[in-house]
A and B are shown apart, each in its own frame.
Chain A
């Protein structure tokens, strides 16, 4: 079975400061990992994904994440946050469920609050 743990439910950070949102996963097989962002009252937008290859993945809005197999982690980072980054961030792992379909398992989310 696969699971995702986001270690912080809320992260406040000052504008222009760096931020790291932590995500750990458990899986008995190779994984595909994702970060999604949800702005207030909106759907989920894909930030970045790791499928294979380079362990450092760059996404939209200046975010990046690093896949660490030995630590089973996929932490999200941004060197300097902006007010507009205030949102909830979800880490997810995907599994193949058969018949051409994949299913996402999400963490519980981390609410990032950027303080002016």
Chain B
């Protein structure tokens, strides 16, 4: 069966520091991968999605970037964090052309 893991689960970072959140999917090949953010009062927002290695689409202009160095690995990064980057970040996956999206456990980011 397929599983998705993301880490770290919790992160407290100072303003201006870099960020790296990592997500991996097991048990499937060539998945679609997604990064969502859940911030207080703003619901769930799609940040990035990827349909293949090196292919990244950005939905919202922001201080963050994403990369997909391997088929089942998706990384969310920032060079300099802002206070407004705080939130709950969720990685998700689906099969290619799949209409059902499955989520990871989430990562809490607090920028102080």
- Which residues of A are in contact with B by a Cβ distance under 8 Å? 32, 34, 36, 41-46, 49, 51, 90, 94, 96-97, 99-104, 106-109
- Measured between beta carbons, the chain B residues less than 8 angstroms from A96 are 99
| A-B residue pair count with CB separations less than 8 angstroms | 52
Query: In the complex, A3 Cα to B46 Cα: how many Å?
Result: 14
A41, A42, A51, A102: the one within 8 Å of B101 (CB): A102
- Which residues of B are in contact with A by a Cβ distance under 8 Å? 32, 43-44, 46, 49, 51, 57, 59, 90, 92, 94, 96-106, 108
Beyond A43-B90, A43-B105, A43-B106, 4 additional contacts (C-beta under 8 Å) are: A46-B102, A90-B44, A100-B51, A103-B49
- List the 7 closest A-B pairs by CB distance, nearest first: A44-B103, A106-B44, A43-B106, A43-B103, A43-B105, A108-B43, A100-B96
Given contacts A44-B90, A103-B46, contact A51 B104 (CB under 8 A): no
- Measured between beta carbons, the chain A residues less than 8 angstroms from B46 are 103-104
Cβ of A41 and Cβ of B108 under 8 Å apart? yes
- Measured between beta carbons, the chain B residues less than 8 angstroms from A45 are 103
- Measured between beta carbons, the chain A residues less than 8 angstroms from B101 are 94, 102, 104
Query: In the complex, A96 Cα to B98 Cα: how many Å?
Result: 10
- Measured between beta carbons, the chain A residues less than 8 angstroms from B43 are 106-109
Cβ of A100 and Cβ of B97 under 8 Å apart? yes
Query: In the complex, A46 Cα to B93 Cα: how many Å?
Result: 12
- Measured between beta carbons, the chain A residues less than 8 angstroms from B92 are 44
- Measured between beta carbons, the chain B residues less than 8 angstroms from A104 are 44, 46, 101
Query: In the complex, A102 Cα to B97 Cα: how many Å?
Result: 7
Query: In the complex, A34 Cα to B51 Cα: how many Å?
Result: 21
Given contacts A44-B90, A49-B100, A94-B101, contact A101 B51 (CB under 8 A): yes
**Nearest-neighbor residue (CB-CB) of B50 within chain A:** A101
